[in-house]
């Protein structure tokens, strides 16, 4: 079973890690940058503002969800040290040569993906609160996740785990905090 999952993970990696040339590299680098904690938090604040739900409480809950999810991700990474693609393929020269890596890469701590967790925390938080534009928010989070594989920084299983952890951190934060008041934009 583990070998089958690893085989699927590696096969999907090679599909998503194909070069689209310089324009594709720049596009995916830009997308991946939105998955860092600070830009993602501001994207979340912009979503709260867009839907009329930008309050201190909602901003604090979003931040709490991001910190909780990030804490779990880094906790897992500290005990489960798995090589990133460049380290994983280091002893396989024919595969390492195929690896699409637009910039210098880290070698360790690939599982789960922190960028995926962060983006899915923000997207799920907004979708759960407002139930609006779910496809757009989830598409953004999915693109952040896919960008991590395209850039050769993670495997598909890493981004899947990060996405699940991000979604869970948003859901659990809102479940235990209670749904914030004033989460719908007033009628105009």
**Domains of the chain by start residue, with CATH:** 20-177 (1.20.144.10)
pLDDT at 186: 44
The 10s digit of each residue's pLDDT in 30-42 is 999 999 999 999 9
pLDDT at 89: 82
pLDDT at 29: 94
Q: What is the CA radius of gyration of the chain?
A: 18
pLDDT at 172: 97
pTM of the predicted protein model: 0.89
> For residues 163 and 153, what is the distance between their CA atoms, to the nearest angstrom?
15
Contact 179, 53 (CB under 8 A): no
pLDDT at 109: 85
Q: Which residues of the chain carry a pLDDT beneath 50?
A: 184-188
pLDDT at 188: 40
- What is the longest distance spanned by two Cα atoms in the chain? 62
> For residues 113 and 173, what is the distance between their CA atoms, to the nearest angstrom?
20
pLDDT at 187: 39
Closest CA to 124 of 178, 75, 169: 169
From residue 111, how far is each of 19, 69, 116, 178 by CA, in Å?
23, 13, 11, 30
């Amino acid at each position: 079973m583990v070998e089958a999952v690893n085989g699927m993970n590696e096969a999907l990696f090679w599909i998503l890690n194909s070069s689209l040339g310089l324009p594709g590299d720049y596009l995916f680098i830009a997308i991946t940058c939105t998955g860092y904690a600070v830009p993602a938090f501001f994207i979340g604040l912009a979503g709260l503002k867009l839907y009329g739900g930008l309050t201190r409480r909602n901003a604090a809950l979003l931040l709490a969800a991001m910190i909780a999810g990030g804490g779990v991700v880094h906790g897992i990474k500290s005990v489960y040290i798995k090589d990133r693609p460049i380290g994983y393929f280091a002893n396989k020269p024919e595969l390492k040569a195929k690896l699409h890596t637009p910039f210098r890469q880290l070698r360790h701590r690939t599982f789960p993906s922190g960028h995926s967790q962060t983006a899915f925390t923000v997207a799920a938080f907004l979708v759960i609160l407002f139930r609006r534009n779910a496809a757009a928010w989830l598409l953004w989070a999915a693109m952040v996740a896919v960008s991590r594989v395209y850039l050769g920084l993670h495997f598909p299983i890493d981004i899947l785990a990060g996405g699940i952890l991000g979604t869970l951190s948003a859901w659990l934060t809102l479940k235990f905090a209670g749904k914030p008041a004033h989460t719908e934009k007033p009628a105009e």
